[in-house]
Structure 1
Amino acid sequence: MAERDDLKLAEAEAAAPAAPAPRTGAPAWVSASIPAVFVVLWSSAFIAAVIGTDAAPPLLLTFCRFAVAGILLAGVVVVTKAPWPKGRLLLHVIVTGLLMQAVQFGAFYTAIGAGLPGGLVALIQGFNPVLIALMAGFVAGETISRQQWLGFAVGGVGVAIAVGGALDSSVSGIVLSFVGLLGLSVGTVYQKRFTQGADVRSSTAVHFLASAPVMLVMTLALEDPEVTDWAGFGGSLAWIVLINSVGTFLLLNFMLKKQAASRVGTLFFLTPAVTAVLAWLVIDQTLGLSAIIGLVLGGAGVLLAARK
């Protein structure tokens, strides 16, 4: 009799609707807000650079960023036991780091320190996908579509208008911004070609650690490495290292796991305009009409060139 009751109980449990599985992971609104948070945080790097270069020479700020971020990431590598690059791969990782870190940020920070608005520097940096596509077309023989050529033309006109309006403020800053863009773009192509097998954590640590001594030599040789405002310098350095070097890096990798790389890449088209708005809100740095027109045309051009 007991066996029959147990059988009926088992049949009733089997026929009952299954309880809904518990939800795991972050709420939907959190995941949906991550791209917007990423754009704001990425754009804030230019504002922090403006504050930091007002408090200390730009190459000194760049050296401190690389040194602190390199030590922090090296600790992460040791704790997580990530493999360090060795041999020829290590040399390629060092070259990549010098291009993408030392050349890019050394030039960008010096341009900002020379008085170039952060929004304009962000606009020039935003042409990285365009320059990479051109490199792929001329060096690797990849086909460039008519839509891409149209995007290059529209974006080029936008940059020309924005740069033309800033010639009276800092010609050297404009030249340095394009040097930084070249370092970023060449470094990206070099990284894709020669460092595919490197661990992201350890290779990024090597990027910073290899670039820090270069920036130290340059700040000692070319600047008077003296901090005039320790509060502004410390605050901007902490923001650049913790938020821009670590926080946005984690958000970027999270989005790349959830979305296509091309979709994530389109977020960078928003950074020049967001940088300009943040500069106006935070440090009261405004842009002229030519710079605003350039931002609009530049963003439209890069978007056209990057769309499939």
Structure 2
Amino acid sequence: MAVRLERQVPQVPAGVAGRRSRAAAMMPPVFVLLWSSAFIAGAIGVDAAPPLLLTFARFALAGLLLTGLALVLRAPWPRGRLLAHIAVTGLLIQAVQFGALYTAMGLGLPAGVVALAQGLNPVVIALLAASLLGERVTGRQWAGFALGAAGVVLAVAGRVAFSPLGVVLLVVGLLGLSAGTVYQKRFVADMNVFSGTAVQFLVAAPVIGLSSLAFETPRVGHWPAFGTALAWIVLVNSVGVFLLLNTMLRRASASRVSTLFFLTPSVTAVLAWLVIGQALDAWTVAGLALGGVGVLLAGRS
């Protein structure tokens, strides 16, 4: 008599599966809140020191911290072509984006206006992802993009005061983030989040450091404010947030993850009201509501 052997598939306990599901559901709102807080810390930091110096210190310290974590956890390190691709994402997402946006804040642009430029990131990513990654964008998602973009504009309506160089820097920062996100999703979507993110920071740090020496007088004017802002940016915004971002990019499409950026201008405005006393007007509240509806639509499959 023949005996049929069936392969036993290990089952995940219900409690563990539930915790994983809840943790995954918490990632997007936590990411939006922490990402938005970077603009508040950045605004405080660029008042205390030149923007590129602040950016260099952020990258160097975050890169060293993540390197230590990767070594302790024995994370695999990228090599060869994978290392080159991760270096490109580091230059785009880190050096280009934050070098440009922090410099724009150093020129006097409000945190909400800088968040506005970054909040348009989902539309740019959707266009790039559709053409380069073959990701399908549905009509409902395009409607969500439109509502999200409208919410972004409403969130900072009446509070925009641009300088020509500031506008250029906002566009450069937006393109760096969008192109880097799509490039990472296409070429290094499965990188280890600890070692890969460490490489991104360590590649970006010398580029920004040389730029600071070339274009700034790297001197700290107010050490307590600089130290506080830097500590938050390194520990929360550099390490925690980018580990979250890279984890979400491994689990979802680039265009879907990018829709979260629609919420950052409004959330940034709320945080600015709570932390540094900036006025929260009806436009911001309307933008927050409209951007939320846009995210819900654009995030639906």
TM-score by length of structure 2 reads 0.79
Matched, 1:92 2:85: yes
Q: Following TM superposition, by how much is the alpha carbon of 1:257 offset from its aligned partner in structure 2, in angstroms?
A: 9.9
Matched, 1:59 2:52: yes
Equivalent residues in 2 for 1:90-169 (5 A)? 90-140=83-133, 142-159=135-152, 165=158, 168-169=161-162
Q: Following TM superposition, by how much is the alpha carbon of 1:226 offset from its aligned partner in structure 2, in angstroms?
A: 1.2
Q: 1:236 aligns with which of 202, 217, 229?
A: 229
Q: Following TM superposition, by how much is the alpha carbon of 1:188 offset from its aligned partner in structure 2, in angstroms?
A: 1.1
Q: 1:172 aligns with which of 145, 165, 168?
A: 165
Greater Rg over alpha carbons, structure: 1
Identity of aligned residues (%): 62
The AA in structure 2 aligned to 1:206 is V
Q: Is the 8 A contact 1:162 1:294 kept in 2?
A: yes
Q: 2:206 aligns with which of 203, 210, 213?
A: 213
Structure 1 residues 33 and 202, CA gap change in structure 2 (3 angstroms): closer
Q: Which runs of 5+ in 2 are unaligned?
A: 1-13
Equivalent residues in 2 for 1:22-33 (5 A)? none
2: CA distance, partners of 1:150 / 1:254: 26
The AA in structure 1 aligned to 2:102 is Y
The AA in structure 1 aligned to 2:225 is G
Equivalent residues in 2 for 1:261-276 (5 A)? 267-276=260-269
Structure 1 residues 24 and 191, CA gap change in structure 2 (3 angstroms): closer
TM-score by length of structure 1 reads 0.77
1: CA distance, partners of 2:75 / 2:176: 27
Q: 1:183 aligns with which of 176, 182, 185?
A: 176
Cα-to-partner distance string for 1:236-270 (whole Å, 9 max, x where unaligned)? 00010111122334566788999999987665443
Q: Is the 8 A contact 1:52 1:232 kept in 2?
A: yes
Tell me which moved more, 39-48 or 158-167: 158-167
The AA in structure 2 aligned to 1:112 is M
Q: Which runs of 5+ in 1 are unaligned?
A: 1-20
Q: How many residues align?
A: 288
What residue number does 1:201 align with?
194
State the Cα RMSD in Å.
Answer: 3.7
2: CA distance, partners of 1:124 / 1:203: 26
Q: Following TM superposition, by how much is the alpha carbon of 1:232 offset from its aligned partner in structure 2, in angstroms?
A: 0.5
What residue number does 1:14 align with?
none
Structure 1 residues 118 and 129, CA gap change in structure 2 (3 angstroms): same
Q: Is the 8 A contact 1:101 1:208 kept in 2?
A: yes
